[in-house]
């Protein structure tokens, strides 16, 4: 199986030993504590689950700035985006060197992790601007990732953490949320050697489904891991439970047995385009995938990124940064000429009118009116789940 990034073994930060876990839970109630941002909570979950292995915790400002500029920490290790724990107010923790990090997304704000504080630093506006520009390629506050990153606070608390729970992801999505450790174990149990991962924050229509089949066939893969984001999205995106149900129905009906796993991870979407694509590849290698599909405008939003910027950034990575191989895909759509889904770049004799193309706005209008998109666009069983959701909003 492919090795994790930068190590021979995965290094999850969740405390699995029951006695140690119980002792830390008890200790946490005696420690100074702070409610962290949703973005920091997602980072803690990903650290706990092994996706960000071999990192040991939250970055210092120097490391975060170095990562933003070079995709390397100050010690030379590769990582694509800053992992900061930013807060507005230090009064609750003062100068404490061991603190509890509390979950902003669960009622009662339970302890998510314990941190050994190595530094408490004020982050200047200039450095926030620098990191924002490098990671998001814009400073536009209308960009949802930029807005979230810059709203967390001006104080960075850094240090190694011990993770005590997986926030709401494990309870709300018990059949879908999986740690990198669990996915690696399941890949091994299934006997898969070549595994392609597919990232999604949306339901999967026919073009997505066929893209996965295409990648598996061309890469000679044993299995596919459909790995959906379960955290916070921008307003208007379809909620995770609806996406989960529609994707599971698609796999049940249209994939052979033991060919696809439906899983999810606990993280808030960054919408950082190219940089987030690299982050996606990083943690897919950690979960055991040997290949990863990067499509048109991967992890993008609006018009902030070029259509294929999330592919070309992999040509700019430091040498040997990642072992996972990228399957670069173009937009896929149903060809009326060929009566099948194709990559549009592989049909040079086609015009736009030769494809079945629907905008997201048009699809939402149809679903909201109880009208299924054409079968060349969406499987009817998937469309029914989405129609039920949109009509429930009325």
Task: Report the catalytic residues.
Answer: 201-202
The closest of 358, 214, 378, 376 to 295, measured between CA atoms, is: 214
Cβ(286)–Cβ(88) below 8 Å: no
Which 8-state DSSP code applies to residue 104? T
Q: Residue 350 burial by CB count (10 A; 0-12/13-18/19+): exposed, middle or buried?
A: middle
- Region of 40 (left: φ > 0; alpha: ψ -120 to 50; beta: rest) is alpha
Structure tokens at 158: 């850094």
Cβ(294)–Cβ(275) below 8 Å: no
- 309 contacts: CB under 8 Å, gap ≥ 6: 273, 274, 300
Query: How big is the CA angle at 244 (ends 238 and 249), to the nearest 5 degrees?
Result: 120
Structure tokens at 115: 């941190």
Dist CA 126 CA 142 (whole Å): 19
Crossing angle for the helix pair 240-254 and 380-392, to the nearest 10 degrees: 160
SS3 85: coil
């Amino acid at each position: 199986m492919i090795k994790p990034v930068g190590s021979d073994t995965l290094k999850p930060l969740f405390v699995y030993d029951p006695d140690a876990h119980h002792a830390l839970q008890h200790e946490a109630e005696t420690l100074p504590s702070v409610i962290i941002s949703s973005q920091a909570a997602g980072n803690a979950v990903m650290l706990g689950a092994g996706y960000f292995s071999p990192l040991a915790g939250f970055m210092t400002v120097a490391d975060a700035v170095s990562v933003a500029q070079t995709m390397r920490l100050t010690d030379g290790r590769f990582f694509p985006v800053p992992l900061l724990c930013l807060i507005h107010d230090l009064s609750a923790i003062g100068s404490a060197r061991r603190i509890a990090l509390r979950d902003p997304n669960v009622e009662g704000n339970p302890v998510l992790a314990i941190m050994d504080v190595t530094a408490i630093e004020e982050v200047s506006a200039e450095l926030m601007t620098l990191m924002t520009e490098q990671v998001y390629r814009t400073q536009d506050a209308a960009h949802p990732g930029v807005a979230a990153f810059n709203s967390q606070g001006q104080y960075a608390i850094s240090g190694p953490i011990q993770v005590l729970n997986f926030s709401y992801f494990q309870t709300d999505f018990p059949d879908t949320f999986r740690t990198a450790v669990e996915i690696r174990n399941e890949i091994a149990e299934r006997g898969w050697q070549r595994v392609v991962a597919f990232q999604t924050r949306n339901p999967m229509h026919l073009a997505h489904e066929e893209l996965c089949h295409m990648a598996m066939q061309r890469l000679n893969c044993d299995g596919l891991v459909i790995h959906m984001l379960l955290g916070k999205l921008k307003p208007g995106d379809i909620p995770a439970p609806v996406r989960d149900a529609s994707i599971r129905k698609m796999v049940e009906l249209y994939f052979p047995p033991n060919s696809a796993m439906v899983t999810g991870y606990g993280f808030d979407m960054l919408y950082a385009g190219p940089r987030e694509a690299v982050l996606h590849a990083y943690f897919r290698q950690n979960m055991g995938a040997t290949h990863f599909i990067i499509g048109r405008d991967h992890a993008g939003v609006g018009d902030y990124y070029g259509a294929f910027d999330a592919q070309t950034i992999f040509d700019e990575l430091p040498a040997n940064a990642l072992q996972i191989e990228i399957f670069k895909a173009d937009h896929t759509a149903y060809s009326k000429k060929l009566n099948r889904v194709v990559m549009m770049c592989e049909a040079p004799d086609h015009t736009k009118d030769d494809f079945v193309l629907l905008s997201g706005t048009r699809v939402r209008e149809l679903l909201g009116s109880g009208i299924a998109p054409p079968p060349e666009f969406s499987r009817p069983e998937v469309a029914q789940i989405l129609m039920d959701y949109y009509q429930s909003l009325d």
